[in-house]
Amino acid sequence: MNLSVCIAPSIVQDSAYTNMAAPMESFFSCLGKGPIQTSCIQLFSRKFSRNVMKKQRAGTSPETNTGKGLPKKWPIPGVKQVVLVASGKGGVGKSTTAVNLALGIGAVKKSAVVGLLDADVYGPSIPRMMNLSGQEPELTKNNLMKPLQNFGISCMSMGFLTDEKSPIVWRGLMVMSAIQRLIRQVAWGPLDYLIVDMPPGTGDAQLSMSQLIPISGAVIVSTPQDIALLDARKGAEMFRKVGVPVLGLVQNMSVFHCPNCGHQSHIFGQDGAQAVAKEMGLEILGDIPLHIGIRETSDEGRPIVVSSPGSPQAAAYRQLAQSVLDRLPRYEDPLAPS
């Protein structure tokens, strides 16, 4: 049974969904056709009607939140620090960076317990990169999903809940609620660090994440190319506006070393991120080269930090991990008595 069934019906508990205009068949299309989809739609319909009637009796409109202003940020139970890995645009190696950053933290800080959340709902990459494709998480006795484990990292992704070849055609509100479920309905703890692979851009997912949970810092990934840096700047500014500390920039695909002659080529430009970082008062957390080994190991589900730890590329990711750890604030338990 596809575990999307465990998430989708609960979305109707969110007030923002009570006036949703999208057809329910479209919402559940990622489950395919059959009795599971039919039962989900029927359950959704019943809960949908009850929720609207309950709000009408209470004298509140479906669009309004129960509280005033933005929702209160609640930490993820058992998770100490959350680090977002983001980019202004796609195709800059953000997911590869997130995976190897998580593994790099585990490598440079042996005692650390690390998790990896794939918040890229439309294009989840973590299942394949972490060699977990085709697996589904189990449920605890409290109906929380257990993260899947590989290379010592706890992982969760929408890719575990839907078919790899089926597109997820959801409106923004659905994506926001799905992200909330991946945060709140997963037995994450205990974790020292949760690395979140964010979708590209500056939209609903980024706003939802910044409003739902306390975030220790964001890492912005970009190539040295001017076009990519324009969007990277927007991503960094967005996080600043919503109160998320920006730890720095990662200059990915910074240089290509010819495997035959050793000549260095700056295919996407040279040190473009350096200028942007200086202008914005940020630091360069790491320079990751453009290397075929990084691409091959990512596609094969054996990230280079674990498959080739002695390589210069793995060393670059470990250096990045150390830079991130050095810039994270000291953890203080928000629930501890003052």
Q: Please say if the pLDDT value at position 6 is more than 60.
A: no
So where are the chain's domains? 4-58, 79-327
Interatomic CA distance for residues 58 and 228, integer angstroms: 49
130-185 tens-digit pLDDT: 999 999 999 999 999 999 999 999 999 999 988 878 888 888 788 888 888 999 99
25-34 tens-digit pLDDT: 444 455 455 5
Q: Please say if the pLDDT value at position 242 is more than 50.
A: yes
| Region 246-258 average pLDDT | 87
Q: Please say if the pLDDT value at position 53 is more than 50.
A: no
255-284 tens-digit pLDDT: 787 777 777 777 776 777 788 888 889 999
Q: Which top CATH class is 79-327?
A: alpha beta
Query: What separation in angstroms does the CA of 78 have from each of 4, 43, 140, 184, 214?
Result: 24, 32, 16, 11, 13
- pLDDT-derived band of residue 253, with 50, 70 and 90 as boundaries? confident
Position 186 scores a pLDDT of: 96
Tokens of 86: 């983001």
Position 298 scores a pLDDT of: 95
Interatomic CA distance for residues 207 and 114, integer angstroms: 24
Interatomic CA distance for residues 199 and 209, integer angstroms: 11
Interatomic CA distance for residues 21 and 35, integer angstroms: 23
Percent of the chain with pLDDT over 70: 77
* Whether the Cβ atoms of residue 15 and residue 55 lie closer than 8 Å to each other: yes
Q: Are strands 114-118 and 148-150 parallel, antiparallel or unpaired?
A: unpaired
